Amino acid sequence: MQNFDNKVAFVTGAASGIGLALCKALLNAGSKVMMADIDADGLEAAAKGLGVDDSRISTIVCDVKSAESVNAAAQATIDAFGQVHIVMNNAGVGLGGYPGSIPLDDWRWITDINLLGVVYGVEAFVPLMQAHGEGGYIVNTASMAGHISSPGMAPYHATKFAVVGYTETLAQELAPLNIGVSVLCPTWVKSNIHNTASKRPSADPKNPLPTSKLTETLKNLVENGISPDTLADLVLKSMQAKRLYIFNDPEAKVAISMRHKVISDDYDACLSDLGLS
């Protein structure tokens, strides 16, 4: 995607953090934006804060863990702007814990939002992009946690690895339809992601956020992360450059290489055991 002027974009998780910054960057580049989020009050405040003419911005309360809600948001986008060219499936939540300690309803909750929420966005919007024939672009937000793993964050890693694999497949499937695809893989961006576990089904209303050394560390890293506006500008540049992966972390590349080395070493060892190398 070279030119954002007069394009119509749909962004989930638009009330806060990265999603809000993406909306800002798209509006600055000349697009019209449908902002979608489950947080009605936050969404209204975020949209108002952007100070953009009503003809270029609209909002829809949308819960990405419901296909019906995402379909209704897609229809609202068409009703507001006539067509859609850019879809950013960005809404996401965090959840950690160790085996034996994570309620299965919490696992289902994060999977419904972080993985199926992305799938619902693709299912709802690809036919709409195909229908106008002008091409389009999808950005799915995964994470660096979709490339490397660390203890205590299995539900987050599992959903984000899945979004990376899903998006790699989509890139191959949608290229013939002139729909570009990128997977956003950020590390530590200043946002509210460290508070989202408070919405998990098992949260105690009196004390919704789990506290541990790990959650404190994550909170500090997010609060000292890069500006979401810097990341959003990188996303638009990466769309213009048609990059499949979008990264911002100067240090994590070595960890990805180490993961690939373990895969390569184990692969060779297995082939050797089979007498195939």
Ligand X SMILES: NC(=O)c1ccc[n+]([C@@H]2O[C@H](COP(=O)([O-])OP(=O)(O)OC[C@H]3O[C@@H](n4cnc5c(N)ncnc54)[C@H](O)[C@@H]3O)[C@@H](O)[C@H]2O)c1
Q: Which residues are catalytic?
A: 156
Decide whether 15 or 128 has the Cβ nearer to ligand X. 15
Min dist CB 180 to ligand X, Å, is 20
Residue 206: HSE in the Cβ half-sphere, 13 Å Cα cutoff: 0
Nearest distance in Å: CB 157, ligand X: 11
Residue 33 φ/ψ, nearest 5 degrees: -130, 130
| Cβ-based nearer residue to ligand X, 155 or 186 | 186
The DSSP H or E segment spanning 229 is helix 228-240
Alpha-carbon distance values, 253 to 10, 144, 179, 185, 248 (Å): 30, 10, 28, 12, 10
Residues in the chain: 277
Instruction: Name the residue nearer to ligand X (CB basis): 50 or 276.
Output: 50
Nearer to ligand X, 136 or 155 (CB): 155
Minimum distance of ligand X from residue 245's CB (angstroms): 13
Shortest reach from residue 204's CB to ligand X, in Å: 19
Task: Please say whether the beta carbons of 245 and 185 come within 8 A.
Answer: yes
Write out the residues near ligand X by the rule CB under 6 A. 12-13, 15-19, 37-39, 42, 62-65, 90-93, 113, 141, 143, 186, 188-189, 191-193, 196, 222, 225
Query: Residue 201 in contact with residue 262, Cβ under 8 Å?
Result: no
Q: How far is the CB of 219 from ligand X (least distance, A)?
A: 11
Placement of tokens 């939002």 in the chain: 113
The DSSP secondary-structure symbol of 275 reads: T
149 φ/ψ angles, rounded to the nearest 5 degrees: -120, 160
Q: Closer to ligand X at the Cβ: 135 or 210?
A: 210
What is the layout of strands, in order, in the sheet containing 57-61?
A: 57-61, 32-37, 8-12, 86-89, 136-141, 179-185, 245-247
